[in-house]
Amino acid sequence: MTREATIIADPARRAGGRRTHDPAALLPPLPDLLDTYAGRDIAVKCAPGLDFDSLGWAGEIEVVSLDGGVREACLYSLGLAEHGVTRRATVLRSDGDGFDVTDAMDDDIPEAEPGEWIVDPDGAVVRAGLVRHYAAAHGLWQLDPRIAYLTGDTLPPGVRGFRILDRFKYTEKSLRQALTASDCGAVEILVRGLDIDPAVLRPKLKLRGTRSLSVVLTRIGRTPEAFVCSPSR
């Protein structure tokens, strides 16, 4: 009587009182759950931090964020998945201005020097591995093909971006000098691809100016780069 029913599963994400990202440590273990219901339509709610590539999942994997925070992921079996889609990022916003990105979309983007803006994609887009697809949809490209920061000459609608004011090879000294010259007194620090803790770096900059700026620290090729920026909001 229930062979045609869709299975909805929500395994417990804690083991020994701690949150786990190991599929085999969920309760019930995710591999066992999928084996038990093999051949059935199933949707499994799970943590967005799981290593989805290790699952060998043939259906659709959706990663969901709300107002910039990644909240959950869901596995959909082939019978529930959209045809031709294996990865989806669903970006929800309280103002209703959300969107989704899938791997069925074009991911052809140019290789070029940084544009006017830097964009830090929503976490759901990054976790779902759809940075290039999102970039192609909005006329953006990557600062480096292995780093999730995007760049372009215009911002996607409703997206916070960082207008590039200055760019140079990163050292702590060069950044401190550039921010001092810009009269910076408060700085937002974004980092990808470099082993830098913003909370440790910020007091070392000894800022005493009047402007609030943003700094993007990343790697382009093997070179550590700093971008001093003005945030869009």
User: How many domains is the chain partitioned into structurally?
Assistant: 2
Counting every residue, how long is the chain? 233
E strands, the chain, are 7-9, 14-15, 18-19, 42-46, 60-66, 69-76, 87-92, 99-102, 117-119, 141-142, 150-152, 162-169, 184-191, 211-220, 223-231
Can you give the residue range of the structural domain that contains 46?
7-102
Q: Among 58, 87, 102, which residue terminates a domain?
A: 102
Q: Is residue 151 included in any domain, yes or no?
A: no
Question: pLDDT tens-digit profile of 47-65?
Answer: 888 888 877 888 999 999 9
Q: Is residue 53 included in any domain, yes or no?
A: yes
Q: Among 102, 117, 134, which residue terminates a domain?
A: 102
Amino acid at 140: L
Q: Is residue 125 included in any domain, yes or no?
A: no
- For the entire predicted model, the pTM comes to 0.90
Q: Among 51, 69, 102, which residue terminates a domain?
A: 102
Q: Is residue 39 included in any domain, yes or no?
A: yes
User: Sign (positive/negative) of CA torsion 204, 209, 215, 221?
Assistant: negative
- Calculate mean pLDDT across residues 198-218: 97
pLDDT tier at 20, thresholds 50, 70, 90: confident
Question: pLDDT tens-digit profile of 117-134?
Answer: 999 999 999 999 999 999
Instruction: Check residue 96 and give its pLDDT.
Output: 83
- Calculate mean pLDDT across residues 37-53: 88
Q: If DSSP codes are grouped into helix, strand and coil, which group holds residue 199? A: helix
Residue, of 21 and 87, whose pLDDT is higher: 87
Q: Is residue 221 included in any domain, yes or no?
A: yes
Instruction: Check residue 1 and give its pLDDT.
Output: 42
Q: Is residue 47 included in any domain, yes or no?
A: yes
Q: Which CATH number goes with the domain that contains 81?
A: 3.40.50.150
CB atoms within 10 A of CB 11: 17
Residue of 35, 40, 37, 61 whose CA lies nearest to 49: 61
CB atoms within 10 A of CB 21: 13
Burial of residue 113 (number of CB atoms within 10 Å: 0-12, 13-18, 19+): exposed
Question: pLDDT tens-digit profile of 137-188?
Answer: 999 999 999 999 999 999 998 899 999 999 999 999 999 999 999 999 999 9
Share of the chain above pLDDT 90, in %: 75
Q: Is residue 138 included in any domain, yes or no?
A: no
98 and 166, same domain (yes or no)? no
Distance CA 100, CA 105 (A): 11
88 and 166, same domain (yes or no)? no
Q: Is residue 148 included in any domain, yes or no?
A: no
